[in-house]
Amino acid sequence: MDRRKFVKSTLFMGSVIGGVIPLKNSVAFMENEKDKKHEKDTMQEKNKKQQWYELRTYIFASDAQRQLTGAYLEQSALPALNRAGIGNVGVFSEWQPQGMGKLFLLIPFDSIESFAAINGKLAHDAAYLKAGEAYLSAPPDNPAYERIESSLLRAFLHMPLIEAPEKKERLFELRCYESPSEAAGQKKIEMFNEAGEIDVFKKIGAKPVFFGETIIGEHRPNLTYMLCFDNMEAHDARWKAFGSDPEWKKISAMPEYSDARLISKITRTFLAPTGYSQV
């Protein structure tokens, strides 16, 4: 072969190879970066900081007990919790109670360590002790309440933080779903998270406040969540929209998510916020 032609041919092949290989490398690099981003996003989703909630119910035998506990929560407990860095503390009374109404307290914690440390912090808070003296020192023959029922919940991954609604007229619905087994309970949580049930609530205008799996408490396995509505008319309208939503129909039609398999009992309680509630 003529040397001049050989050199041209070699240069041409080199330029072709030099053009093709970087292109392939570029595509491979982009796809690799895309996979890395997806993996990073997935890990970030899994590592979202999930709050912990104490859901406390005060049970009373008299209106005097209810008033004393209410004054304690408003004047002592909530200010002390806020000083300890805990915000969005909700206090609710039953809407249209049957008999002596209960008080419900919702305390969000950023970590399990924060939950474990709070009683120690309150015990050394002089302002808390002074403001809550009547409640804290109530005598055995005239207690501030009959009993306290309390549950510890962990926030769902898809809604890891409490979302306090706008401060206006509002009605809350607290719903507890008991499951026949731990496996069924986890499947129901999956339905809210991965399958998209929480997203449907947001889309139709119901305002979720929190979703939590009960880690310690009665009637386990169960999950508890709270929705907010402007009033009962809005509540009925939003639930009607939820039931007819195409995405919800698609999710609920999946055999693995049928209520018969995942839920053994539903308890719902309607609540009104107290004037000092932060939720």
Residue 102 belongs to domain with CATH number: 3.30.70.100
CB neighbourhood size of 148 (10 A): 13
| pLDDT over 50 at 15, yes or no | no
Indicate whether 69 and 140 sit together in one domain.
yes
* pLDDT tens, position by position, 163-173: 999 989 999 99
Query: Which is higher by pLDDT, 48 or 249?
Result: 249
Model confidence at 97: pLDDT above 70: yes
Give me the domain span that covers residue 3: 1-32
In the predicted model, is pLDDT for residue 127 greater than 90?
yes
Q: How far apart are CA 96 and CA 272, in angstroms?
A: 9
User: Would you say residue 6 has pLDDT above 50?
Assistant: no
Kindly state whether residues 98 and 3 are assigned to the same domain.
no
Please check the confidence at residue 31 and state whether its pLDDT lies above 90: no
Per-residue pLDDT, 242: 97
Residue 183 placed within a domain: yes
**Is the residue at 47 inside a domain?**
no
pLDDT at 27: 52
- Beta-carbon neighbour count of residue 213 at 10 Å? 23
Is pLDDT above 50 for 131?
Answer: yes
Q: Is 41 domain-assigned?
A: no
Number of structural domains found in the chain: 2
pLDDT single digits (tens) 190-248: 999 999 999 999 999 999 999 999 999 999 999 999 999 999 999 999 999 999 999 99
State yes or no: pLDDT of 257 exceeds 60.
Answer: yes
| Within a domain: 21 | yes
Q: Are 206 and 268 in contact (CB under 8 A)?
A: no
pLDDT averaged over the chain? 89
Return d(Cα 91, Cα 57) in angstroms, integer.
Answer: 10
